[in-house]
Structure 1
Amino acid sequence: MSEFKTSRPDTPPTYAPWEAYQRPYVRDLAYVLACPNVLTAWLDFAPHQNTHEITVHSASFWQMQFEAYQQRLKELDTTNAYQELTRYLLKRPSPNRLGFHFEGLLSFWLADGFARNLHPYETLASNVQLFNGKQTTGELDLILYNHKEKLTEHWELAIKFFMGSAPFAPENWVGINSNDNLQRKMTHMQTKQFRTVWVDTENHGQVKIDKRYGVIKGRFFLPINTNDFSYPAWLAPSFPIHEWCDKNDTANLATIDIAALRAAHYIEWFSKRDFYDGRQSPFIYDENGALKTGLYFEGDRPIVIYPEQRDRIDGKF
């Protein structure tokens, strides 16, 4: 039986079966599969534009994919097969960037799982460049053929770690870079990448997209000591929810064991690496004597230190 965990007693438990795996990339892969989509349904923020229908996979869909792949995850976690996963990820462009890491994990599962008949999705193309004349205007993440439904699908991917504030509408979930929020990301996906109909592939010729899926995963963080939060209808109730704190909020910072905090390494936005414990100073100050913005761990409890004033801070996301 997979465990349910939460870092906040006042929220529903978060499904976290990825923590059962020992090897970091296997834990990340399990997280990418078992974590539900942020959304229960796509929200149309561009109703007056001529855009296509967009779908999201249900939480039960991702649970089914995770369960079908569990035996392979165990093999990757306990045998030399782990090298297949590490080699695949590390040979990809910019493997240390979270978005590319997320895409690499899903791409590995798609190719590996299809070869093992664990799902019906054949990868036809990935990172398809879009052009306006000779100018590159964007790219499409994944073009798949669903052999079960006999449909060509376009999956657009996003991995997001957003801090929320009341009233917790999509525009109120903001990233480390305050120009990034959930509503803006969805609008961009809908009005840019998802407008494409025909795609040229290297090995399968030109294909017509039949269905479009927005795959948005990650973690959300509520203001610390929020006691009146209710999941909006659009937010998956099993989506990972944690806490964030204003770095100048002395009252709430006093409730945190600052001496026990450890700044997370970049990859730990996916899952905590215990081998980093004790290897660095427990916290990092900026030039003004405040904790630097970012993800920290208080034991196994993830918490983001973030400026309430929404200052723009350049990050790696």
Structure 2
Amino acid sequence: MSEPIAQPTSTRLINDAPWETYQRPYVRDLAYVLACPNVLTKWLDVAPYQNTHTISVHSASFWQTQFEAYQVRLDELDSTNDYQALTRYLLKRPSPNRLGFHFEGLLSFWLEDGFARKLHPYEMLANNVQLFNGKQTTGELDLILYNHEEKLTEHWELAIKFFMGSAPFEPINWVGINSNDNLQRKMTHMQTKQFGSIWVDTENHGQVKIGKRYGVIKGRFFLPINTCNFTYPSWLSPSFPIHEWCDKYDTSTLATLDIRALRAAHYIEWFTRRDFYDGRQSPLNNSKNDILKTGLYFAGDRPIVIYPKQTEQVENKL
């Protein structure tokens, strides 16, 4: 779909993870959501034959700027009773244990808290706006914001994705734990279903006209273990968190990892690792034929996904 960038990048783990400096789990998650760049360097027109609007993505430098502007506040949340405001905000939201809702809650907290403190120009006008065709609900828009700096209304559509890649590493080759989910399919849905609105009815601000649309896709990607000379495609942000995945039936490679040293991750650790789960895991060989279950594990601090290389339908818990 696009030409790779000229210089290859090895399959090292990304060491630049400033969110790891924070001690409180939700603060670490919030720092991760801000400091992690968008997976895309540019929006890919995955549905060129459909009449859709122009879609933009925020640059990696944009998110780095937002993180740096909010760092003093992150320090406060990590060291004072203000942490309770963050936890109450997140836990009162619908389905706080679903990763997608957790991601949306973290961004929403930053938007509201940061705007009140004049740390960014984005005023939230509405969120989770229902779309109707007659009396039938046809969709939902994540965030409607007013950018006071540019004097226009923006629609941000959010996605948190944890995808395993395989050659040739095009968007369709990055798939989720649910094998029906892939990056190209997600972008197609966002482009053709969620970015079609021009006018939006809001409860507190009346009808507003969308001036700009942003796809906000974050998360983590995982390369096949022992991949050599991986080259980032031009659309993939070079600073996006990249880790590794291993075929759950590849016993020889798993043997090199020392299965006994692996720790199965708690569901929310797809965001950031929680040290307090160390030493609390149950025996790992608890699936049929002593094969590890599909999911995220830690080898020390190193995240690794165990995933079936061959087609296998798995319940989507993300």
Q: CA RMSD in A?
A: 1.2
Structure 1 residue 280: Cα displacement: 1.8
Distance 1:90 1:197, change over 3 A: same
What displacement does 1:102 show? 0.1
Letter in 1 for 2:47: A
| Matching residue's letter, 1:279 | R
The correspondence of residues 217-296 of structure 1 with structure 2, limited to 5 A, is 217-296=218-297
Whole-Å Cα distance in 1 between the matches of residues 139 and 276 of structure 2?
Answer: 38
State the distance in 2 between where 1:316 and 1:134 align.
Answer: 30
Alignment of 1:58-69 (within 5 A): 58-69=59-70
Aligned to 2:108: 107
**Which residue pairs with 1:161 in the alignment?**
162
Distance 2:305 2:270 in 1: 10
- Residues 207-233 of structure 1 show CA distances to partners (whole Å, capped at 9, x for unaligned) of 000000000000000000001211000
Deviates more, 1:132-141 or 1:284-293: 284-293
1:31-46 to 2 correspondence within 5 Å?
31-46=32-47
2:3 match: none
User: 1:279 & 1:152 partners in 2: Cα distance?
Assistant: 47
What's the offset of the Cα at 1:9? 6.5
What is the match of residue 300 of structure 1? 301
CA 1:282 to 1:271, structure 2 compared with 1: closer, same or farther past 3 Å?
A: farther
Which amino acid letter does the alignment assign opposite residue 189 of structure 1?
M
Q: Distance in 2 between matches of 1:177 and 1:224?
A: 20
CA change 1:43–1:219 in 2 (3 A) is same
Task: Report the alpha carbon displacement of residue 277 of structure 1 after superposing the two structures with TM.
Answer: 0.4
**Equivalents in 2 of 1:257, 1:18: separation in Å?**
28
SS at match of 2:72: helix
Displacement of 1:257 in angstroms is 1.7
Q: 1:315, CA displacement in angstroms?
A: 2.0
Equivalenced residue count is 310
Q: What secondary structure does 1:231 align onto?
A: coil
Does the CA-based 8 Å contact 1:12-1:238 persist in structure 2? Answer: no
Partners of 2:43 and 2:55 lie apart in 1 by 6
Determine the C-alpha separation between the residues in 1 that align with 2:15 and 2:185. 26
Aligned identity (percent) is 81
DSSP-derived class of the 2:215 partner: strand
2:289 aligned counterpart, secondary structure: coil
Matches within 5 A, 1:41-56: 41-56=42-57
**1: CA distance between counterparts of 2:236 and 2:258?**
30
SS of the residue corresponding to residue 140 of structure 1 reads strand
Q: Is the 8 A contact 2:10 2:228 kept in 1?
A: no
1:10 Cα deviation from its structure 2 partner: 3.7
1:4 — aligned with what?
A: none
Structure 2: 5+ residue stretches without partners: 1-8
Q: Is 2:92 the partner of 1:91?
A: yes
Gaps of at least 5 residues in structure 1 are 1-7
Structure 2 partner of 1:128: 129
- Give, as a single letter, the amino acid of the residue that structure 2 aligns with 1:290: I
For residue 267 of structure 1, give the secondary structure of its aligned residue in structure 2: helix
SS in structure 2 at match of 1:195? coil
* TM-score, normalised via structure 2 length: 0.96
Per the TM alignment, residue 129 of structure 1 is displaced from its structure 2 partner at its CA by: 0.5
Distance 1:106 1:10 in 2: 29
SS at match of 2:102: helix
Q: Is the 8 A contact 1:295 1:302 kept in 2?
A: yes
* 1:192 aligned counterpart, secondary structure: helix
1:282 is displaced (CA, Å) by 4.9
1: distance between equivalents of 2:15 and 2:274? 19
Whether the 8 Å contact between 1:154 and 1:213 is mirrored in structure 2 is yes
Residue 14 to residue 41, structure 1, CA distance change in 2 (3 Å): farther
Q: Deviations over 1:279-310 (max 9, x none)?
A: 12252532232100000001100000000013
Which whole-Å CA distance do the structure 1 matches of 2:241 and 2:311 have between them?
Answer: 22
Residue identity in the other structure for 1:11: R
Code of the aligned partner of 1:150 = K
